[in-house]
Chains A and B, each alone.
Chain A
Amino acid sequence: MAGTQSKSSGGRAKSATKARGAMKNVPALAEFSKDEELNAYREMLFIRRFEEKAGQLYGMGLIGGFCHLYIGQEAVVVGMEMAKEKGDQMITSYRDHAHMLACGMDPKGVMAELTGRSGGLSKGKGGSMHMFSKEQEFYGGHGIVGAQVALGTGLAFANRYKENGKVSMAFFGDGAANQGQVYESFNMAKLWNLPVIYIIENNRYGMGTSVERASSTTDLSQRGASFGIPGVQVDGMDVRAVKAATDYAMEWCREGNGPYILEMITYRYRGHSMSDPAKYRSKDEVQKMRSEHDPIEQVRARLLEKEWSSEDDLKAIDKEVRAVVAASAEFAQNDPEPDPSELYTDIVL
């Protein structure tokens, strides 16, 4: 596990970020109140239970196609959600269920989209990889690796154009970080000082390829160095570290300094999608992550240690969360399929 917010490793890259004063005064960990800890716990647990249920429904044949679970990475999106303001936008890849839940989209609508029903957020027409919400400023759900990086830069362009003070958050993977359009976007974002946070969710693998096998330099936080975009690595398994780094990056963007890169060092416990046997890594590697770095267990341990919650309190939260997930699954199984006439709607206006 890379350390919390290690500064850049390469010599030249280091001076490039340093010259811009990146992360000089960033606290490593956000100080969480009891309410914040409880909120983080509930949100992360909710995402995990939701994803476990989605995995089950896939196994039963109720969800088809690709289904990419977020289990293990929960601290990233929850910590960022805690730092964002209303109106800030999010955009991500196909591994998107958690982002939608975190930004407040209806879990019934998400689950029903996974089962392809009329009550799904895209009326059943998008599926697991393609959901959107104008209301919650969530811009999808994209299946083409890297596409959301240019799109997220466009959201930031619109923010600057309208001078609305909002920040765009563009999430992408370690694998996506090698796509050409990422660097075309970086250049424009810095050239025009657009308010965008690029969040690289480095879960160590792009499908079956480890970062080391795909990237000539593996400190992805420094990928913006040649454009003058500062960046840091963050312990993406610790929700407090995510929150602290995001607070800093948000302020950087809102003050008009242009883009910022946060490389979240994280891990996915499951295979790339439901059909990936994940033979490219050892069971020990996964087990070690689960037992030593689990984002939910970390919060749970703190809540108990500080005596902010009892075992019973936490059980009650688990029960509440399971009930919401069960209700979503229930809805998603009983909601009707879209009407056949929907085949020809929403194509052009």
Chain B
Amino acid sequence: MAVEILMPALSPTMEEGKLAKWLKKEGDTVAAGDVIAEIETDKATMEVEAVDEGVLGRILVTEGTEEVKVNAPIAVLLEEGEDASAADKLGAASAAPAAAETPAVPAAPVAPAAPVESVVPADPEIPAGTKMVSRTVREALRDAMAEEMRRNENVFLMGEEVAQYQGAYKISQGLLDEFGERRVIDTPITEHGFTGLAVGAAMAGLNPIVEFMTFNFAMQAIDHIINSAAKTLYMSGGQMGAPVVFRGPNGAAARVGAQHSQDFAAWYASIPGLKVIQPYSATDAKGLLKAAIRDPNPVVFLENEILYGQHFDVPEVEDLVLPIGKARIVREGTDATMVSWGIGMTYALQAVDELAKQGVSVELIDLRTIRPLDMDTVLASVRKTGRLVTVEEAFPICSVSSEIAYQVQSEAFDWLDAPILRVTGKDVPMPYAANLEKLALPDAREVIDAVKAVTYTA
């Protein structure tokens, strides 16, 4: 019986891919295990092996086709002796339209108010009229490291799989080629050891960038980040510090379970002596990573795997360095203030734009830096709107949201017209099951509900 060969999913975050090459032609015999095609996923070029044996009856997706959805039929495999008409029958049956895309934000009941216009202010750090180019967060991070390594001979990168493999998440793509083995260094799987080594090298005048494959594994090394890096300047009476950047993906990815999905922002943000950055956009990723590498202090730079492949407009300027410790207003508004950062911004933006359609005007602040916190920007906005909702993916208890809420109630109590609400990940270890993982993470619906609650428009 003819069977369809489907576009395989080959990474936790892959939704579609490019069918790069067919290695078998129509009419070729294939055995189980034969490589039949090459596809490009969001991270790499992978080979597709045949699972069954038979004859390649029909190729349904020609090579070079981009954006082929996972599970779309790409070919039909015939049993020995079956003729090609079997492929046509099957092909016709499967030509049914693909399932409709579900909207990111479920339709909300119609609100009585008229829509408000979303006001997107320009970034005050970027000169007006600067040419913008589309870049992924992944490229922005790589460019930031490459530019700083060109600029300063003492900057080097070390971590697991950063050199020959080009990075487990391909952030260091091309760096080994350009800078060589002296400055782009593959380490053994020994986080505690190489982190301490980097801090020592920094004490001796170098500027290490330590890549953690993910921040979950930095827990092996957190003693050196905190006891050795963060406290040295103070303990030495200002004689020496540790200018190290600790960077890597942080927080949940997709279906990787409890031990691989934690957001550590609040942990590091509670430590005097550290700076903590958690960017959302590619521009901030680039400008703040460059600033972090130049900073004389230890900086924890928290990236996010889901954001790596997302495109943003990045200004094409010689040397994009953004200030650490400054939040940015990304939507101006009057009815409520929303504060978010990192991947939390994806839910925040969806919600704010949906709320604008419903006539609720929200001022959205992207914190960008978690320590030091730019409370001036947050407080100024809250004094204008009288309401605050925070949005993050981390656990709720003792979170960054908790700290913001504390500071706002102590500094702007008289301006508040409603309790401060936070939208966070749920207070549970990250479950693996698809439905539970969805429930454990925040979504735009919860953010909209929180804004409606603080504006009493629910």
Contact = CB atoms under 8 A, between A and B. Distances in A.
Contacts of A60: 6, 8-9, 71
A124 B260 contact: no
Interface stretch (B101-109, B308-316, B431-439, B445-453): B431-439
A117 B433 contact: yes
Interface in B241-266: 253-260
A127 B257 contact: yes
Given A129-B259, A207-B168, A275 B426 contact: no
B165 A280 contact: yes
B188 interface: yes
A124 B47 contact: no
Given A337-B435, A347-B428, A64 B254 contact: yes
A60 to B, nearest CB: 6
Interface stretch (A10-18, A176-184, A235-243, A316-324): A176-184
Contacts of A130: 257-259, 432
B193 interface: yes
**Chief secondary structure at chain A's binding surface:** loop
B44 A277 contact: yes
A143 to B, nearest CB: 4
Contacts of A277: 44-47
Nearest to A64: B255
A66 interface: yes
B190 A178 contact: yes
Given A338-B436, A347-B429, A275 B44 contact: yes
Interface string A326-349: 000000000001101011100100
A208 to B, nearest CB: 4
A55 to B, nearest CB: 8
Contacts of A215: 188
Contact of A275 (B11, B51, B190, B257): B11
B41 A275 contact: yes
A127 B188 contact: no
Contact of B433 (A116, A144, A176): A116
Given A176-B189, A208-B165, A338-B433, A343 B257 contact: no
A146 B11 contact: no
Contacts of A207: 160-161, 165, 168
B65 interface: no
A175 B190 CA distance: 9
A213 B185 CA distance: 11
A337 B6 CA distance: 24
Given A61-B70, A144-B216, A275-B46, A337 B260 contact: no
Nearest to B11: A275
A6 interface: no
B220 interface: yes
A227 interface: no
Interface in A34-81: 52, 56, 58-61, 64-66
A174 B103 CA distance: 46
B436 A343 contact: yes
B12 interface: yes
B436 to A, nearest CB: 5
Interface in B22-75: 41, 43-47, 51, 70-71
B433 A65 contact: no
Contact of A178 (B45, B188, B255): B188
A56 B434 contact: no
B164 interface: yes
Contacts of A209: 160-161, 164-165, 186, 188
B436 A145 contact: no
A254 interface: no
Contact of A342 (B190, B253, B426, B436): B436
A65 B254 contact: yes
Contacts of B432: 64-65, 113, 116, 122, 124-128, 130
Given A66-B12, A143-B260, A116 B428 contact: no
A64 B220 CA distance: 26
B161 A65 contact: no
B10 interface: yes
Nearest to B253: A65
Interface string A179-211: 110000000000000000000000000111100
A128 B258 CA distance: 11
User: Sorted from nearest, which 10 A-B pairs have the closest CB atoms?
Assistant: A127-B432, A64-B255, A59-B8, A65-B255, A275-B11, A116-B433, A124-B433, A143-B259, A208-B165, A178-B188
Given A124-B436, A127-B255, A209-B164, 12 more contacts: A59-B10, A65-B255, A116-B432, A145-B217, A178-B188, A214-B188, A214-B189, A274-B11, A277-B44, A337-B436, A342-B431, A347-B429
Interface of A: 52, 56, 58-61, 64-66, 113, 116-117, 120, 122, 124-130, 142-146, 175-176, 178-180, 206-209, 213-215, 274-277, 280, 337-338, 340, 342-344, 347
Interface of B: 6, 8-12, 14, 41, 43-47, 51, 70-71, 160-161, 164-165, 168, 186, 188-190, 192-193, 216-217, 219-220, 253-260, 426, 428-429, 431-436, 439-440
25 contacts: A52-B51, A59-B51, A61-B9, A61-B70, A65-B257, A125-B258, A126-B257, A126-B258, A128-B432, A130-B257, A130-B259, A143-B216, A145-B217, A176-B189, A179-B190, A207-B161, A208-B164, A213-B164, A213-B186, A274-B10, A275-B12, A275-B43, A338-B435, A343-B431, A344-B428
